[in-house]
Amino acid sequence: MYMDPRRDPDAPLGDSSWSDLEYCKSTENWYCYAKSITEQGAWEAARARGLDLAVVIPVVVLGELLQPSMNTSTLHILKYLTGQTKEYVNKSHAYVHVKDAAEAHVRVLEAPGAGGRRYVCAERTLHRGELCRMLAGLFPEYPIPTRNQRKAIVDCSKIELLHSNMKKSMVKGVYE
C-alpha cells in the first residue's frame, strides 16, 4: 500500500492507499506486488459475486512464526541482530503483533457494517533507529547498527491505526 513514488510523502497512509503495480515490478518488489494484485483480485471477485468484502491490512507483522524459516516481515530484524546490516535506513515502519492482527480480523468479521472497506491494522510506528536502540537494549551482545544510512525512503510514520480508522468509518462495536 505504500509503494507509490507519486504519493505525497506528507500524506498519511490509510485505507485508500494502494501500491503502484508498475513501480513494484520495476523495483522487483514482488512481495508488495503480490499483496496488491491479490487484494485487487479479491475486490473484483467480491463485486462480481455480490459479496460483502472487508479487508484487514496488517502492516509489518511480528510474533511467533509458524514456519522454521524467517519471513519477510522479520528479516530486517535478523539482519540487525547478525551484523549483516551495518547501518539502519532512514525509514519508519508500522508494526503489529500477529495475535493483534488475528483479533482485528475477527473484530472486522463480527462488526455489523464493516463490509466494503479496507482496515489498516497497526499497533505502533517505529523509526528504524528507534527499533535498533530497542534491540540494542534487549540484546547488548549483538552487533546492532548505531548509524543511519541517511537515505530518503518512503516514510510510513503517519500510517493510520486500525482503532482510529474504524472510528472514522463509524463501524460501531469493533474497538469499543
From 101, 103, 122, select the one nearest 164 (Cα to Cα): 122
Nearest-angstrom CA–CA distance, 160 and 18: 14
Give residue 151's pLDDT. Answer: 53
pLDDT tens by residue, 10-44: 777 777 877 888 888 998 988 889 989 999 999 99
Amino acid identity at 145: P
Q: How confident is the model at residue 1 (pLDDT cuts 50, 70, 90)?
A: low
- 97 φ, ψ to 5°? -80, 145
**Residue 111 in this model has a pLDDT that exceeds 70:** yes
Q: Which residues are catalytic?
A: 35
- Domain 51-168: CATH superfamily is NAD(P)-binding Rossmann-like Domain (3.40.50.720)
Nearest-angstrom CA–CA distance, 79 and 75: 6
Q: Tell me the β-bridge partners of 125.
A: 94
**The pairing of beta strand 124-127 with beta strand 92-97:** antiparallel
Average the pLDDT over each of 14-18, 101-105, 108-112 and give the range with the smallest value.
14-18
**Residue 150 in this model has a pLDDT that exceeds 80:** no
User: Is-contact 172 112, C-beta < 8 A?
Assistant: yes
- Of 91-95, 161-165, 171-175, the range with the highest mean pLDDT is 91-95
Q: Which residue has the cell 502492516?
A: 59
Give residue 137's pLDDT. Answer: 95
> Does the pTM of the predicted model rise above 0.75?
no
Q: Which residue has the cell 491494522?
A: 121
Sign, CA dihedral 57-59-97-174, equals negative
Q: Dig out the grid coordinates for 55 from the structure.
A: 479487508
Residue 88 sits at the vertex; the CA angle it makes with 140 and 75, to the nearest 5 degrees, is: 80
Give residue 156's pLDDT. Answer: 44
**Residue 101 in this model has a pLDDT that exceeds 60:** yes
User: Is-contact 77 135, C-beta < 8 A?
Assistant: yes
Query: What is the secondary structure of 7-66 as a DSSP string?
Result: S-TTSPP-TT----HHHHHHTT-HHHHHHHHHHHHHHHHHHHHT----EEEE-EEES--S
